């Protein structure tokens, strides 16, 4: 039987205190996510249960029990305290999906410091912007990523410690660097977790904005309440499950549901830190007998593309429940999954800002392929008229997805940017920046974003950030970045550029520019297509009209062009 039993019953009289009681928390108590995800599970008698099974490149494998996670996160916490890291300071995890990332986050939280995970494929520019905004004081990384940190070190006066988790003792350490090997360090049986309270800052996740720098999303320890209950009711995690969340903890899915959700429930989870291929993924499910799988539409579409035959090579009968997040999950993908896995993917909708799932499909509830489902119990989700910001009650009408800001995992503010935070509210509603319709049964149907942000393979890319980086290339005079359709990633980045005098358009230059962005920002932000143009469409006030270029790429109506200057 599923944990939620009946969605309709759970909606009636819902209170978050249900989760508080299950976690043994009362308002005013200390609440430390690091402690809840390790020490508490051991106290419940599950110390010998496997917490984490990890598989890396070249067939390397490691596994950790809950007691080992407890002791090793203590080791990390004590090490950080020894370095002088104080509660509230930001500690970055700039790591691949290795055990140090998962256990390290719990260690950071145990000290009362703030965890700041950053995607390890980020280039030096992406890294610099986020580390300087957060004034991060310590950073965990691997030797292969350290050169990117060294490159920007001069611009990071606050960064005191660069902790290399796989340092080669034969080599010299650089400025501010130190070596720390989690698995070789002496056990720390006891570490008193810092007495963080509900509103104590826990995590800082960066998300892209349409204008300006990426925004740091401030989360607090009380988010555990939402993350625990949604993991239980939506992912349906049960004691004997073997769970696989394919997301990287550099993004919020990988922390909320790749660390906090499963560990707070004492579930066994598997992590694969290898490149994607259908064979890799299916053999992983077969080998570990994965029962619950949380993934993303781009991955599902890539598996679809690999075909039905490859599925038949593996025994995937362990799979019990499948969920998806991050971008629109098209009906075809849901139908395909039913055909080949015998189960649909259950779509879930949420954001870095919401910290936990908001609109979902629930076990036992009828899945309408292509719909995101209904708001989680306790969540008031509506669509608003874009002019009046009043809820729309008309079936099929498009509105702005908005929530009453009263759930535990809701962001508390944007770091150093209260103004951007305030700007997310109208009439007391939190605006997601997405558009949707609602059908007569209350199901939400995603329509699109309400801004220029590009969602490529489930990752948000700011056109503004890519445009700014493009301008740093010597050949680029002006640039405009929009999305273009893609069968697998749904959207990919496309750049229109004008060249500076003396530069010739060529294929080589296009590749050079693409590579420049990949290295500076990340592989996700790299334009898949660079188009040379003589001039960019601009408004009379000189603002580039991305809207026109976007419409052209998507074969859409151009709309009002009355403000266009160079028509």
Site residues, ligand WT7 (CB under 6 A) = 207, 252-253, 325-329, 347-352, 372, 432-434, 446, 449, 455, 460
Place of tokens 């610099």: 128
- Cα–Cα dist 82/67, whole Å: 22
Task: Please state at what angle helix 66-83 crosses helix 99-110, rounded to 10 degrees.
Answer: 60
- Strands (E) located in 274-316: 292-295
Q: How far is the CB of 207 from ligand WT7 (least distance, A)?
A: 5
- Cα–Cα dist 533/495, whole Å: 10
Q: How far is the CB of 287 from ligand WT7 (least distance, A)?
A: 27
Q: How far is the CB of 264 from ligand WT7 (least distance, A)?
A: 18
- Cα–Cα dist 268/254, whole Å: 15
> Maximum Cα–Cα distance for the chain, whole Å?
71
Q: Which is nearer to ligand WT7, 200 or 351 (CB)?
A: 351
Q: How far is the CB of 146 from ligand WT7 (least distance, A)?
A: 27
User: Alpha carbon of 79 to those of 83, 187, 190, 314: distances in Å?
Assistant: 6, 11, 13, 43
Q: Which is nearer to ligand WT7, 81 or 351 (CB)?
A: 351
- Cα–Cα dist 514/509, whole Å: 9
Q: How far is the CB of 462 from ligand WT7 (least distance, A)?
A: 11
Residues with Cβ within 8 Å of 542's Cβ and at least 6 positions away in sequence, in order, are 565
- Find, among 391, 395, 294, 303, the residue nearest to 346 by Cα: 294
Q: Which is nearer to ligand WT7, 55 or 434 (CB)?
A: 434
Place of tokens 């809950």: 66
Q: How far is the CB of 433 from ligand WT7 (least distance, A)?
A: 6
Residue 497: both structure tokens together: 């550029």
- Cα–Cα dist 138/92, whole Å: 6
Q: Which is nearer to ligand WT7, 38 or 348 (CB)?
A: 348
Q: Which is nearer to ligand WT7, 73 or 455 (CB)?
A: 455
Q: Which is nearer to ligand WT7, 107 or 216 (CB)?
A: 216
Residue 137: both structure tokens together: 């004081």
Strand 381-384 relative to strand 399-403, pairing:
antiparallel
Q: How far is the CB of 376 from ligand WT7 (least distance, A)?
A: 13
Q: How far is the CB of 257 from ligand WT7 (least distance, A)?
A: 9
- Cα–Cα dist 5/18, whole Å: 15
Q: Which is nearer to ligand WT7, 140 or 251 (CB)?
A: 251
Q: How far is the CB of 239 from ligand WT7 (least distance, A)?
A: 26
Q: How far is the CB of 426 from ligand WT7 (least distance, A)?
A: 16
| H-helix or E-strand spanning residue 420 | helix 418-422
H runs (alpha helix) in 328-383:
331-341
Alpha-carbon dihedral sign for residues 241, 246, 249, 251:
negative
Q: Which is nearer to ligand WT7, 67 or 327 (CB)?
A: 327
Structural contact between residues 475 and 503, judged by C-beta atoms closer than 8 angstroms: yes
Q: How far is the CB of 552 from ligand WT7 (least distance, A)?
A: 22
Q: How far is the CB of 276 from ligand WT7 (least distance, A)?
A: 17
78: helix, coil or strand?
helix
Q: Which is nearer to ligand WT7, 79 or 415 (CB)?
A: 415
Instruction: Quote the radius of gyration of the chain (alpha carbons, Å).
Output: 23
Q: DSSP states of 323-339 as a string?
A: EEESS---HHHHHHHHH
Q: Which is nearer to ligand WT7, 128 or 490 (CB)?
A: 490
Place of tokens 């039993």: 5
Q: Which is nearer to ligand WT7, 273 or 450 (CB)?
A: 450
Q: Which residue is nearest to ligand WT7 (CB)?
A: 352
Q: How far is the CB of 373 from ligand WT7 (least distance, A)?
A: 9
Residues with Cβ within 8 Å of 129's Cβ and at least 6 positions away in sequence, in order, are 213, 214
Q: Which is nearer to ligand WT7, 176 or 424 (CB)?
A: 424
Structural contact between residues 373 and 346, judged by C-beta atoms closer than 8 angstroms: yes
Q: Which is nearer to ligand WT7, 223 or 348 (CB)?
A: 348
Q: How far is the CB of 393 from ligand WT7 (least distance, A)?
A: 22
Q: Which is nearer to ligand WT7, 39 or 347 (CB)?
A: 347
CA atoms within 13 A on the CB side of 334: 21
Cα torsion through 42, 181, 190, 83, rounded to 10: -140
């Amino acid at each position: 039987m599923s944990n939620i039993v009946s969605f309709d019953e759970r909606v009636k009289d819902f209170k978050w205190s249900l989760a508080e009681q299950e976690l043994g928390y009362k308002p005013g108590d200390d609440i430390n996510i690091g402690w809840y995800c390790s020490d508490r599970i051991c106290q419940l008698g599950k110390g010998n249960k496997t917490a984490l099974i990890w598989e890396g490149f070249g067939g390397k494998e490691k596994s950790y029990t809950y007691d080992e996670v407890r002791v090793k996160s203590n080791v990390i916490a004590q090490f950080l305290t020894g370095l002088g890291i104080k509660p509230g300071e930001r500690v970055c995890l700039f790591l691949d999906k290795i055990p140090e990332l998962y256990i390290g986050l719990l260690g950071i939280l145990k000290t009362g410091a703030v965890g700041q995970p950053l995607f390890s494929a980020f280039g030096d520019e992406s890294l610099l912007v986020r580390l300087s905004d957060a004034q991060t004081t310590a950073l965990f990384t691997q030797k292969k990523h350290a050169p990117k940190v060294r490159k920007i070190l001069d611009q990071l006066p606050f960064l005191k410690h660069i902790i290399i988790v796989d340092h080669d003792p034969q080599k010299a350490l650089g400025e501010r660097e130190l070596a720390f090997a989690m698995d070789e360090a002496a056990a720390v049986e006891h570490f008193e977790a810092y007495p963080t309270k509900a509103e104590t800052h826990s995590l800082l996740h960066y998300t892209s904005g349409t204008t300006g720098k990426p925004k740091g999303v401030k989360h607090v320890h009380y988010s555990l309440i939402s993350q625990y209950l949604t993991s239980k009711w939506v992912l349906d995690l049960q004691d004997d499950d073997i769970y696989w969340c394919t997301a990287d903890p550099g993004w919020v899915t990988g922390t909320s549901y790749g660390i906090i959700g499963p560990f707070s429930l004492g579930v066994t989870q598997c992590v694969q830190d290898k490149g994607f291929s259908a064979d890799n993924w299916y053999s992983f499910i077969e080998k570990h007998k994965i029962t619950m799988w949380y993934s993303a539409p781009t991955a599902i579409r890539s598996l679809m593309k690999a075909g039905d035959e490859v599925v038949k090579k593996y025994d995937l009968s362990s799979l019990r429940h499948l969920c998806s997040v991050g971008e629109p999950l098209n009906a075809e993908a849901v139908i395909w999954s039913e055909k080949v896995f015998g189960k649909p993917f259950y779509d879930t909708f949420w954001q870095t800002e919401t910290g936990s799932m908001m609109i979902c499909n629930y076990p036992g509830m009828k899945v309408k392929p292509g719909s995101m489902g209904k708001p989680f119990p306790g969540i008031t989700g509506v669509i608003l008229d874009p002019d009046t910001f009043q809820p729309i009650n008309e079936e099929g009408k498009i509105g702005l997805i908005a929530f009453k800001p009263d759930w535990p995992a809701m962001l508390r503010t944007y770091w150093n940017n209260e103004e951007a935070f305030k700007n997310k509210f109208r009439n007391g509603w939190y605006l997601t920046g997405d558009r949707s319709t609602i059908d007569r049964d209350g199901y939400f149907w995603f329509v699109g974003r309400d801004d220029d942000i590009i969602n490529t393979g489930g990752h948000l890319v700011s056109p503004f950030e890519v445009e700014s980086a493009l301008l740093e290339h010597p050949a680029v005079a002006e640039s405009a970045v929009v999305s273009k359709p893609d069968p697998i990633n749904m959207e990919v980045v496309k750049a229109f550029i004008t060249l500076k005098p003396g530069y010739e358009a060529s294929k080589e230059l296009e590749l050079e520019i693409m590579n420049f962005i990949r290295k500076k920002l990340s592989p996700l932000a790299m334009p898949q297509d660079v188009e040379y143009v003589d001039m960019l469409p601009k408004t009379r006030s000189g603002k580039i009209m991305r809207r026109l270029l976007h419409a052209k790429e998507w074969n859409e109506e151009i709309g009002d062009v009355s403000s266009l200057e160079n028509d």
